[in-house]
Structure 1
Amino acid sequence: MRSELAFSADDLARTRFAVSPMWEVVASYRLLASPAPHPLHQPWLEQVRPRVAAAGLRSGWLAALIPADGYLPDFLTPLPDDPAPTLAAELAAIRATPDGEVHADLDLLASTDPRVRTLRADPPTRLAQLADEIATYWDLALGPYWAKIRALLDADVFHRARQVAERGTGALFNSLHTTLRWDNNTLQLVRRQCALNRDQMGPGLVLVPSAFLDRVLTWSRPPQPPQLAYPARGAATLWEHRPVPHHAAIATVLGRSRARLLTELETPASTSDLAHRTGISAAGVSQHLTALRDAGIVSTHRVGRSVLYARTAVAESLLAGTG
């Protein structure tokens, strides 16, 4: 099946990119819930699945609203107002979804899950509960890795923008995915289960890269412009082990113990995990991590009764520079 999205000069002028936390929530949760193997994201899955299961999120609101395949309710991925909305901003948009839009999306979802029925009956209350669950999921599954994921998505947007500048918009569209083709001022989507066209849609197009998608997903809610989420470049390298070749250079600035802890945080870890792996006492690890956190080099993420520490974008830049 094929659908076509026509472009005028105004549509091309209003085509833009956005990095959306909620698109990553939806795509990653669908991946997490799938029984199929996913070698590309296996390191992430092995770390996150136990946390999500322990928190009871395998049978909550996200499970009810994100099927293994097919339609996803549009209210889960509100139109980004700027190039990089925060999760808080997108959750506020979800909570404010009008009842009529919720009902229309649930009609398309056609689910018999009891939670879906309660959402239809009382959208404001249930959307607030959904937003709270998404925030919990974020803390467990995406927040500790966001600096790394965000760097990948930003790099994709930078590459695409340069591609437009050097080769034009047609080359951009033709390179996004094998199911997309630019021809005669239209973007053709091959093997689509639902149509995407300009009828009643707003001008332009919002392009959203995703680290967790392996296919193109579309979003349409007249009169807003459509969204098109696509697999980001380089996702295959996201969880690769990246040794830091110049540990001594970082140690000169941070001290040997803090430099060691920073390199060990290639994957998020707790104080006890780091103490076990480095031989530093738990009290010493805690003291060093507090200093690194206060400097904006690591972030904290609560997982049940424990806390995970993760590198921030500042840390990733620091390590990349020394490498």
Structure 2
Amino acid sequence: MGFWQIGTDVLARSRFVVSPLAETVACLSALGGQRAVSAPQREWLAAHRPAFEARYAGDPFVRPFLHAAIRPGWIADFLVTPPHTPGETFSTELARLRRTPDPTAREHLGLGDAVPEVLRADGLAGRAADLVDWVWSHLVRPGWPRLRRVFEADIVSRTDRLSTGGWAAVLDGMRPGMRWLGDGRLQINTYDYAPLDISDAELLFIPTTAARGWVGWESPPRSYSIIYPCTGWLAATGGTAPPDALARLLGPLRATILTLLATPHSTTQLVALTGAGLGSVGGHLRVLLDAGLITRRRAGRSVLYYHTPTGEAVCRG
């Protein structure tokens, strides 16, 4: 199995960030069709694949590139370098990708002498950047504000879990094959890779809609990232729909909010996950608080709402 040796200072400095480039690459992975897709990606593909196929039908570069750069167990490193600063814009991330020397990009395909002829021509990184830019501009950016809120909701939930359960609770199962082994060892996947010491590096955690995620790195600087499936998306797409009886009792939105609060959420998270307005969500939270079905506590700058034992029993019933 492959694992990273992580020092306590690395974990102390690590951060959760949102990356528009990472999500765009996750969407490219789905369009390439060689890796497993998640439920939200299947929904996204149904809506956006026709536009992609219409734009790139017959293009001699795109299909060979996607099959070479994003395939089972492999993703080209130059597509997944970690953001350099929090809140880095897509244009900044894309510019870094575009600056990749062609020989480096070709090496990152991991195919050695088996690189397809069309990918041997000059301009590989530039054409890849053009493809990423088109997918972002036409297929990802229109829905980005909502996606970003869902990712931020996931991050708030995980940082709350960190405060109550420590890093082991956060890291175990963050992505398939990943778990905390103890003694500073983080299993990244189940592949037979040599251990990697990142005790003096920066570590980022980035949510996307990908089914499995991946890892990325850049040196220099010594920066590593773990791209993981955003679990909050299931709630945003109906994965935690309330039971019919509960919806009839409380009303659909109030029942949905109560169901979501099986894990702590802030008002902002609930707005993102339900699509309801801030005032509406706030009103339902007040009713649930007054009924004794939920309670709240402060976590940093956020106020988190969650079930009381009574609320948990109502949801179970």
Identify unmatched segments of 5+ residues in structure 1. Answer: 247-312
Q: SS at the partner of 2:206?
A: strand
Q: How big is each residue's C-alpha offset from its partner over 1:77-135, in whole Å with a ceiling of 9 and x where there is no partner?
A: 222012232110111101122455324313457653333211xxx3xx44233322222
Instruction: Tell me, in whole angstroms, the C-alpha distance in 1 between the residues paired with 2:213 and 2:224.
Output: 13
- 2:22 and 2:112 map into 1 onto residues whose CA distance is 17
TM-score normalised to the size of structure 1?
A: 0.65
Instruction: Select the residue among 212, 215, 220 that pairs with 1:218.
Output: 215
- Amino acid corresponding to residue 115 of structure 1 in structure 2: V
The residue type paired with residue 127 of structure 2 is Q
What is the aligned length?
Answer: 247
Separation (CA, whole Å) in 2 of partners of 1:79 and 1:109: 24
Contact 2:13 2:203 in 1 (8 A): yes
Preserved contact between residue 215 and residue 224 of structure 2 (Cα < 8 Å) = yes
Q: Which residue number in structure 2 is paired with residue 147 of structure 1?
A: 145
d(CA) in 2 for partners of 1:157 and 1:103? 34
Per the alignment, residue 80 of structure 2 pairs with 77
Instruction: Give the Cα–Cα distance (whole angstroms) in 2 for the partners of residues 37 and 157 of structure 1.
Output: 21
2:44 is the alignment partner of 1:47: no
Distance 1:181 1:156, change over 3 A: same
Aligned counterpart in structure 2 of residue 168 of structure 1, from 152, 166, 185: 166
1:210-238, Cα deviation, whole Å (9 max, x unpaired): 12x22141123434222111111122244
**Residue of structure 1 in register with 2:225 after alignment:** 227
2:203 corresponds to: 205
TM-aligned CA deviation for residue 59 of structure 1? 4.6
Identity of aligned residues (%): 26
Distance 2:43 2:21 in 1: 21
Matches within 5 A, 1:257-276: none
Work out the CA distance in 2 between the residues paired with 1:150 and 1:108: 34
Report 1:25-174 matches (<5 A). 25-34=24-33, 39-56=39-56, 59=59, 61-63=61-63, 64-65=65-66, 66-99=69-102, 101-108=104-111, 111-118=114-121, 122=122, 125-174=123-172
Corresponding residue number in structure 1 for 2:13: 14
* SS of corresponding position for 1:209: strand
Partner of residue 179, structure 1: 177
Change (3 A) 1:60 1:172: farther
1:276-322 Cα deviation digits (max 9, x unpaired): xxxxxxxxxxxxxxxxxxxxxxxxxxxxxxxxxxxxx99x9773443
2 CA distance for matches of 1:38 and 1:159? 20
Classify 1:28/1:317 alpha carbon distance in 2 versus 1 (closer, same or farther; 3 Å). Answer: same
Closer, same or farther in 2 for the Cα pair 1:109/1:44, shift >3 Å?
farther
Q: What are structure 2's unaligned runs of at least 5 residues? A: 242-251, 254-270, 282-317
Hey, what's the Cα distance between the residues in 1 that align with 2:194 and 2:61? 27
1:191 alignment counterpart: 190
Mapped partners of 1:176, 1:50: distance in 2: 32
Assess, with a 3 A threshold, how the Cα gap between structure 1 residues 196 and 46 changes in structure 2: closer, same or farther. farther
Any conservation in 2 of the 1:44–1:239 contact (CA below 8 Å)?
no
Are the aligned partners of 1:209 and 1:232 in contact in 2 as well (CA < 8 Å)? yes
Instruction: Describe the shift of the 1:46–1:75 C-alpha distance in structure 2 as closer, same or farther (beyond 3 A).
Output: same
Which region of structure 1 is more displaced relative to structure 2, 101-110 or 65-74?
101-110
| Residue number in structure 2 paired with 1:322 | 280
Q: 1:151 to 1:60 in 2, by over 3 A?
A: farther
| Paired residue secondary structure (1:79) | coil
Q: Give secondary structure in 1 for the equivalent of 2:72.
A: coil
SS at structure 2 position matched to 1:179: coil
- Paired AA for residue 131 in structure 2: E
Contact 2:7 2:200 in 1 (8 A): no
Measured in 1, the distance between the counterparts of 2:202 and 2:37 equals: 36
1:19–1:154 CA contact under 8 A, matched in 2: yes
The alignment partner of 1:84 has SS state of coil
Alignment correspondent of 1:275: none
Q: 1:10 to 1:39 in 2, by over 3 A?
A: closer
Q: Aligned to 1:168, what secondary structure does the other structure show?
A: helix
Structure 2 length as normaliser, TM-score?
0.67
CA distance in structure 1 between the aligned counterparts of 2:60 and 2:195, rounded to whole angstroms = 30
User: 2:257 maps to what in 1?
Assistant: none
CA distance in 2, matches of 1:85, 1:112: 32
Preserved CA contact (<8 Å) 1:74 1:220: yes
Give distance in 1, aligned partners of 2:56 and 2:235.
30
The Cα RMSD (Å) is: 3.3
Give CA-to-partner distance per residue, 1:53-76, whole Å, 9 cap, x none.
111168565531433423211111
Q: Deviations over 1:223-274 (max 9, x none)?
A: 42221111111222444499xx89xxxxxxxxxxxxxxxxxxxxxxxxxxxx
Residues 62 and 194 of structure 1, relative CA distance in 2, 3 Å threshold: farther
